[in-house]
Amino acid sequence: MKLKKIFFFVPLATTMLFSQQTGEEVFKQNCAKCHATVLGITNDGGYDNSYVTPAPYVDELIEKLKKETKTKEKFSAFIKEYIENPNKRKTLYGNKGIKKFGLMPSLKGAISDEEKDLLIEYLYNKIENEKKLINAKKPKKVEKVDPREKLFTKNCAKCHATVLGITNDGGYDNSYVTPAPYVDDLIAKLKEETKTKEKFSAFIKEYIQNPNKRKSLYGKRAIKKFGLMPSLKGALTEDEIAQLSNYLYEKYANN
């Protein structure tokens, strides 16, 4: 079964390889010598922004034709007809173009039907595709990290998980038991018990320096489960403690 599949795909893949011509190539071969794709680039590849191309700039042309033809079908039909039988009475781009550049010569016979389809697909999507490319190349906005988060990461995160189920080595195991209460639960419970932000901050400040089971607000069950939290006395300055408790208050259990 597997073998059959391979034999079926090989000839298909090779014919696709050999006949791979893109709409962009058809355009380069047949249209680009007159219709500029970049403004100001002269025939010999130099730059001169007063340089007049021998035919309308292709992006302008496409925009104007899309506006005039409205549907993709009409856009396609117009181009197919015009490149074989240019005629000033048919112009959609406008007589000003013909006055400026002269009438476009007929390209009858130069382009096969298949090439025409590729070409039109390319022209119709050219502007959008190029916009997408430019957007993809733009550096993504870096999410702003709260500078206070570092205090938590450095001093508390190795015990207090911020995401449940993430094990110490970065794996995922939803039965994994963290070494200390999950931070969202913890903050929710403390907010409930302390009521005001001042009391919340005072409690954190006191508890991280002098943990004690009689002070516990989170509950003795936690102490039974995890053991008492070790004292972090000296690890953070007064200012850092204040920043950290503000951060925890603002970030977690806000609903």
Distances (CA, A) of 146 to 143, 247, 250, 251: 9, 8, 11, 10
Q: Kindly state the smallest distance separating residue 95's Cβ from ligand HEC, in Å.
A: 8
Give 124 or 229: the residue with its C-beta nearer to ligand HEC: 229
Give 14 or 42: the residue with its C-beta nearer to ligand HEC: 42
Give 6 or 177: the residue with its C-beta nearer to ligand HEC: 177
Q: Kindly state the smallest distance separating residue 40's Cβ from ligand HEC, in Å.
A: 18
- Please calculate the CA angle 59-62-66 and round it to the nearest 5 degrees: 145
Give 40 or 227: the residue with its C-beta nearer to ligand HEC: 227
- Please calculate the CA angle 82-88-92 and round it to the nearest 5 degrees: 65
Give 65 or 148: the residue with its C-beta nearer to ligand HEC: 65
- For ligand HEC, the binding residues (CB under 6 A) are 30-31, 33-35, 54-56, 61, 65, 79, 82-83, 86, 91-93, 97-98, 101-105, 107, 111, 155-156, 158-160, 179-181, 186, 190, 204, 207-208, 211, 216-218, 222-223, 226-230, 232, 244
**Residue 60 and residue 45: Cα distance in Å, rounded?**
21
Q: Kindly state the smallest distance separating residue 196's Cβ from ligand HEC, in Å.
A: 15
Q: Kindly state the smallest distance separating residue 68's Cβ from ligand HEC, in Å.
A: 8
Q: Kindly state the smallest distance separating residue 170's Cβ from ligand HEC, in Å.
A: 18
Give 15 or 99: the residue with its C-beta nearer to ligand HEC: 99
On the 0-12 / 13-18 / 19+ scale of CB atoms within 10 A, 245 is buried
Which residues does 199 contact at the CB level (< 8 Å), separation at least 6? none
Q: Kindly state the smallest distance separating residue 240's Cβ from ligand HEC, in Å.
A: 9
Q: Kindly state the smallest distance separating residue 253's Cβ from ligand HEC, in Å.
A: 12
Give 21 or 211: the residue with its C-beta nearer to ligand HEC: 211
